[in-house]
Every structure is written in C-alpha cells, then in structure tokens.
C-alpha cells in the first residue's frame, strides 16, 4: 500500500490535500499530462483530457498555488496594503482594485497597517515574503525611504499620496487644487474667517494644508486663516473642531481634511449647539458615499476613487507584464460637490465685521 494512502489513518489529523500525482495515478497518466490538462494546453487528446478532468473532480483536487508560485516565480497575486479599512474612501478604491485585478487574471489580497508606520511595515513584509507580483499601498503613512526600499524588490503603486520618486508609480488626485476649490467655494459664499482642520500626518494632508493656505493667500485672507491639527478619522475631526471652538475668532466656516473627519466635526458642532450651515459652514474631502446621505449632506471635494483603484492595478501590470521601467505619477483632478453643509455666513452683508465679535462664552 502506498505510503500516501489517506483515509482511515486513525490519527485524526485533517486529510492531506490531493496532489497532481494523485490525479495522475488515478487517471493512469503522467503528472506532466495532468499539469497540461489543468492549464488547458493544446495537443492533448480528448480522451486523456476527459480522464484527467474526471479523476481530478473525483478526488477533489485543488491546485496548490504555493508550489506553482515557487516554480513559476510569479504568484499572480496583487498585495494591497490599506492604511485604514475603516475609511470608506479606501474601501471604494478597493472596489476598483478588485475589479481590475480579476479582469486581468490576478487576485487581490488585502492587508492593513492600522494607520501606523510599524503596522504598515509588518503588513508589507507579509506581502513581500509572499512574493506578490506587485504591491499597492493605499494611503501609506510610511516614510518615503521605506516605500522606496519596498519598491526595490517589487513593483509598487502608491495611491492617494503624492510622490516624485523614480522608484515607484503613484496615482493621486490634486490635493492642493481640491483644497483651493473648497476655499474658493466658501469665499464665494461670503466667508472670510475660514479654518482648516487638517489630516495630521495622513497621506495627502500636507498638500491639502498647502492648498488651503495658498487659496486663502490669493483671496488676501492669509491673516485670518487658521489651521488646527486633526486626523483622517472621525475622532480627528471631532477633536480638531473642539480645539478650534476653544479659541475661535469669529470663524464661520471650516474645511476639514476628509469626509470621515468632517462627519466627526458635524458631531462636535452638534455638541456645541452650532447648526450647520446656519452658524457654521463645513466642507469635507473625498465624497465618500456617506457624504451624500440626507442626514449628513456634506459639501465636499470629489475624487474618482474607483477609477483610481483600477488605474493603480493598470500601472502595476504595466511594470510587471510589460516591463516598464520608468516611474509614472498620475494626478487626477478633483471637483466640487455642493450639498447642504455650506451656505452664507451667519452675519450676512458685504461689510466685514471686526474680529471676535461673535458671542460665545467659551
């Protein structure tokens, strides 16, 4: 009896997976032929093809991707390291990645670093050791040096974070422009004292901050621009607004780093008894599905999330399958989506009121 004999070994361990050799024996052919049939190669007689298929079916054979990856030196796997799975922005990018990967015969596998550099490092290491054919980093907070190091051994595409690195590709929206559009919108409504609750060290936060200042400058409002530190999470937005309201000086509008944080900001305004947009206008960023809901109804800056995911995969495959060597950094334009969270400032009229004359105890 073959030492491979399964079933009834009594030791109680889970039955081992059947291999290509098991299929070959049962079908009475060589393992090579089985391999050919499974990858449906031409030049195999119908007769043998049927026999192999039948045998594989009967013993419940499932190819071992591990062994295949080893010998082929490619896994057909795309590893995706997502900064924050709680942010719907990323899950929408993921939809695009998933779709594009499937359409090209690849499988996408996700990972998360929980918005921390150490976590991202570990997540990437897992992907690297698995020898994925390419890695997408969605909104990494990792240092550019670490990213470049990863890119030295596998094609990398960074999504939602600016880069000029020659080592990898990237796809982002124009965060500076988006921030400017947000400010322009608020200014056109009559706002002058505008604050920005930023995204802290999050991907793209620096550009949005710069764009905000830039636009305020252009409108001659640099001196009344106010920036407080936040994060790309609900808490980040809530905390930022709380800080802001502690010492606000007649601020009538807030541009928050992203939609998730804007939702947190909405919450904080509620707590302070400020109604939006009557007392305070609010603009977010990303246009996540949540922003469109009646109860949130957030004016925001849209970026084509799903397309960005699709494009990320395309960039990866250009490198992997077509052997492109030079870096490509794509930037897509954002656009304004006006909803109910913005309106004219509370004291209307073209006259600019002097500073801090709005009564709020604390």
Partner DNA sequence: GTCACCGAGTGGAACGTTCCAACGAACGGG
Partner DNA sequence: CCCGTTCGTTGGAACGTTCCACTCGGTGAC
- Binding footprint of a copy of itself on the chain (CB under 8 A): 12-17, 60, 62-67, 69-70, 73, 75, 85-86, 88, 91-92, 94-95, 98, 102, 107-112, 114, 122, 125-126, 128-131, 152-155, 234, 263-264, 266-268, 270-271, 289-290, 293-296, 323, 325
* 54 belongs to the binding site for DNA (CB under 7 A): no
Instruction: Supply the minimum distance, in Å, between the C-beta of residue 210 and a copy of itself.
Output: 29
Say whether residue 50 binds DNA (CB under 7 A).
no
> Binding pattern to DNA, positions 9-38, x when CB under 7 A?
-------xx-xxx-------xxxxx-xx-x
Helix locations, 130-174, DSSP H: 144-151
**First-to-final CA distance of the chain:** 85
Among 2, 13, 45, 326, contact with DNA (rule: CB under 7 A)? 45
Pairing of strands 253-256, 226-228: unpaired
Closest approach of Cβ 132 to DNA, in Å?
A: 15
Please report how the helices 31-38 and 46-59 are oriented relative to each other, as an axis angle in degrees rounded to 10.
Answer: 90
CA nearest to 52, candidates 73, 80, 33, 71: 33
Q: How far apart are alpha carbons 55 and 28 in whole angstroms?
A: 9
With CB under 5 to 8 Å by kind, the binding choice for 164 among DNA, a copy of itself, none is none
Residues 265-284 that bind DNA (CB under 7 A): none
Residues 131, 72 contacting (CB under 8 angstroms): no
User: Residue 299 gets which letter from DSSP?
Assistant: B
Interaction between residue 39 and DNA (CB under 7 A): yes
To DNA, the closest distance from the beta carbon of 89 in angstroms equals 36
In the complex with DNA, the residue whose CB is nearer, 47 or 322, is 47
Give the span between the Cα atoms of 83 and 204, in whole angstroms.
Answer: 12
8 A C-beta contact, residue 171 and residue 308: yes
Rounded distance between C-alpha atoms, residue 320 and residue 315, angstroms: 9
Site for DNA contains 149 (CB under 7 A): no
Contacts with DNA, residue ranges (CB under 7 A): 16-17, 19-21, 29-33, 35-36, 38-39, 42-45, 47-48, 61, 63-64, 67-68, 70-73
């Amino acid at each position: 009896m073959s030492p491979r004999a399964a079933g009834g070994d009594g030791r109680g361990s889970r039955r081992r997976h059947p291999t290509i050799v098991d299929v070959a024996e049962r079908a009475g052919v060589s393992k090579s032929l089985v391999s050919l049939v499974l990858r449906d190669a031409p030049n195999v007689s119908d007769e043998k093809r049927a026999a192999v298929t039948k045998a594989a079916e009967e013993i419940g054979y499932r190819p071992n991707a591990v062994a295949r990856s080893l010998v082929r030196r490619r896994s057909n796997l795309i590893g995706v390291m997502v900064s924050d799975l709680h942010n719907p922005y990323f899950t929408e990018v993921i939809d695009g990645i998933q779709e594009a990967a499937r359409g090209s015969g690849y499988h996408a596998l996700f990972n998360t670093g929980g918005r921390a550099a150490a976590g991202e490092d570990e997540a990437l290491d897992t992907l690297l050791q698995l020898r994925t054919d390419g890695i997408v980093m969605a909104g990494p907070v990792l240092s550019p040096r670490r990213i470049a190091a990863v890119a030295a051994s596998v094609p990398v595409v960074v999504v939602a974070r600016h880069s000029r690195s020659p080592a990898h590709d990237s796809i982002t929206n124009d965060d500076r422009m988006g921030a400017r559009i947000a400010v322009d919108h608020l200014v056109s409504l009559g706002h002058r004292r505008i604050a920005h609750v930023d995204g802290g060290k999050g991907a793209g936060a620096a550009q949005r901050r710069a764009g905000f200042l830039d636009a305020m400058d252009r409108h001659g409002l640099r001196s009344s621009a106010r920036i407080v530190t936040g994060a790309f999470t609900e808490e980040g937005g809530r905390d930022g607004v709380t800080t802001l309201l502690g010492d606000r000086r007649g601020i009538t509008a807030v541009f928050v780093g992203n939609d998730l944080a804007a939702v947190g900001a909405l919450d904080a305004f509620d707590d302070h008894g400020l109604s939006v947009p009557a007392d305070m206008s609010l603009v977010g960023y990303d246009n996540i599905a949540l922003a469109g809901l009646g109860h949130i109804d957030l004016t925001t800056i849209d970026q084509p999330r799903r397309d960005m995911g699709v494009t990320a995969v395309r960039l990866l495959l250009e490198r992997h399958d077509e052997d492109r060597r030079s870096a490509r950094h794509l930037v897509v334009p954002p656009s304004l989506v006006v909803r109910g969270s913005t309106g004219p400032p509370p004291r209307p009229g073209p006259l600019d009121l002097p500073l801090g004359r709005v009564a709020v105890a604390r």
